[in-house]
Amino acid sequence: MTLVVKNLHAKVKESGEEILKGVDLTVPTGEVHAIMGPNGNGKSTLVSTIMGYPAYEVTAGSVTFDGEDVLNKSVTERARMGMFLGMQYPAEIPGVKNVDFIRQAMNATQPDGKPVPVMQFLQELNEAKELLQMPDDITDRYLNVGFSGGEKKRNEVLQMMMLKPKLAILDEIDSGLDIDALRIVANGINHMRTPQFSALLITHYERLLEYVKPDRVLVMVDGRVVQSGGPELADELEEGGYAKFEQLRKDGV
């Protein structure tokens, strides 16, 4: 299941401001790609647009998954196709229990439309919680309400592990994590890796990529992918910072 993004342009619906200015990228089946880049350059807008969140309007270009156009599909339909987005800022939802949210999401995305049997669900949930070293009662609490920053991130990974997507897009899943939590989160991602699983990791830091080895590293500046390379590109960015890209942006290149 390959993700292909071609010449994607998108604007914020409310303000009309164009944020994505022609994004091109391809994530082939089985590969992990990382998108790095300075803040405010459209990384989160890109992944929200790929997943179909309604704040943005696509004005040109295409997004296909397994050869199928996804831009005319709802978020749920995209999820059912095997796409998953772990958000940079997971929303707190008082009144909705974490466990119920996960169960509903899982049932809504079963390819055969049948709900997952309860015993199987609970067993998988406990295994995933254990692997992610999450407190047992975390799933009895309201979704993200009162969770620490690290717990919110881990909970996104928990959802990913339960939903078993074919493509996981994880937006700054490493930000704000200490080294132990980072290792645990990386472990959760690596646990998913098979020749059928691909991932798009948004990150500022090379550190995550020491634990989750990417096949490709892309740099996004001002709404476009301006450079791509192998994993070594992440090391270069770590050393050189994003200054040279910021300069490109100012020069309007």
Binding site for ligand ADP (CB under 6 A): 12, 14-15, 19, 39-45, 55
Q: Tokens 């997952």, residue?
A: 116
**For the chain, percent helix, then strand, then coil, each to nearest 5?**
40, 30, 35
Instruction: Name the segment binding Mg ion (CB under 5 A); options: 13-21, 40-48, 192-200, 240-248.
Output: 40-48
What's the closest the beta carbon of residue 42 comes to Mg ion, in angstroms? 8
| CA–CA–CA angle 60, 173, 115 (5° rounding) | 80
Q: Rule CB under 5 A: is residue 139 a binding residue for Mg ion?
A: no
What's the closest the beta carbon of residue 226 comes to Mg ion, in angstroms? 17
Amino acid letter, residue 53 = Y
DSSP, residue by residue, 111-146:
TT-PPPPHHHHHHHHHHHHHHTT--GGGGTSEETTT
What's the closest the beta carbon of residue 89 comes to ligand ADP, in angstroms? 9
Q: Which of 11, 19, 44, 90 binds Mg ion (CB under 5 A)?
A: 44
Q: How far is CA 245 from CA 18, 119, 175, 207, in A?
A: 19, 51, 21, 20
What's the closest the beta carbon of residue 198 comes to Mg ion, in angstroms? 20
CB 66 within 8 A of CB 248: no
Which of 151/171 has CB closer to Mg ion?
Answer: 171
Q: Strand pairing of 224-229 and 216-221?
A: antiparallel
Which of 50/177 has CB closer to ligand ADP?
Answer: 50
Q: Rule CB under 5 A: is residue 39 a binding residue for Mg ion?
A: yes
What's the closest the beta carbon of residue 114 comes to ligand ADP, in angstroms? 36
Which has the closest alpha carbon to 193: 164, 218, 220, 221?
164
Q: Where are the alpha helices (DSSP H) in the chain?
A: 43-51, 75-81, 98-108, 118-131, 149-163, 179-192, 207-211, 232-240, 243-250
DSSP 172: S
- When CB distances to Mg ion are compared, the closest residue is 44
What, of ligand ADP, Mg ion, none, does residue 155 touch, CB below 5 to 8 Å by kind? none
Quick note: the x/- pattern for Mg ion over 78-97, rule CB under 5 A, is ----------x---------
Query: What does the alpha-carbon distance between residue 18 and residue 195 come to, in Å, rounded to a whole number?
Result: 36
CB 62 within 8 A of CB 18: no
Which of 11/103 has CB closer to Mg ion?
Answer: 11
What, of ligand ADP, Mg ion, none, does residue 42 touch, CB below 5 to 8 Å by kind? ligand ADP
Which of 19/208 has CB closer to ligand ADP?
Answer: 19
Instruction: Name the segment binding Mg ion (CB under 5 A); options: 34-42, 140-148, 185-193, 203-211.
Output: 34-42
What's the closest the beta carbon of residue 42 comes to ligand ADP, in angstroms? 4
What's the closest the beta carbon of residue 110 comes to ligand ADP, in angstroms? 31
- Positions in the binding site for Mg ion (CB under 5 A): 39, 43-44, 88
